[in-house]
Amino acid sequence: MRPGAQLTTDPQFTGFQCKPRRLAAITPVSKQLLAQSPSLDEVLLSDLGRQLGSLIDQICLLGAGPTANQPVGIATAPGVNQIAGTAYTDFVHARRLVGDQRIALDSYAEITSPSGREYVAVRLPAAFSVLGPLP
């Protein structure tokens, strides 16, 4: 085989069972407060949406699986590589491991906390050509 040539594979796909889930929230508000704050409903809907979105993100990342009545999260799924660390050198090492595998930078993701993202942005501004700007 010549260098850089790709192997031909015969991928196998299997289905899986999934059940729909419902996520709801209730926020009691008095009629008086609604009357005194005409845009309160918009503020509450926006805040609830943000909070529910955060919960969905958390479950998608850290979900414990069917025993906890949750999907399996990315961080708990078998075969997902994780490198945890708090030092800048940990991040640099992780990026080197990705580079060693010759993975295109647009075909992988890095998941970090907002503070971790800021830490890397301050120390490695070029990383954000791939990661995108801070929100």
Give domain limits for the chain. 31-76, 88-128
Query: What is the per-residue DSSP string for 17-53?
Result: --------------HHHHHH-TTHHHHHHHHHHHHHH
Q: What is the pTM of this model?
A: 0.53
- Convert the pLDDT of each residue in 48-59 to its tens digit: 989 988 888 888
Angle in degrees, 0-180, between the axes of helices 114-123 and 88-100, rounded to the nearest 10: 80
Asked if residue 119 has pLDDT above 60, the reply is yes
- Convert the pLDDT of each residue in 62-109 to its tens digit: 888 888 888 888 888 887 766 666 677 777 777 777 778 777 767 677
Rounded to the nearest 5°, which phi and psi values hold at 64?
A: -85, -10
35 vs 117: which has the higher pLDDT? 35
Asked if residue 39 has pLDDT above 80, the reply is yes
Residue-level pLDDT at 135? 45
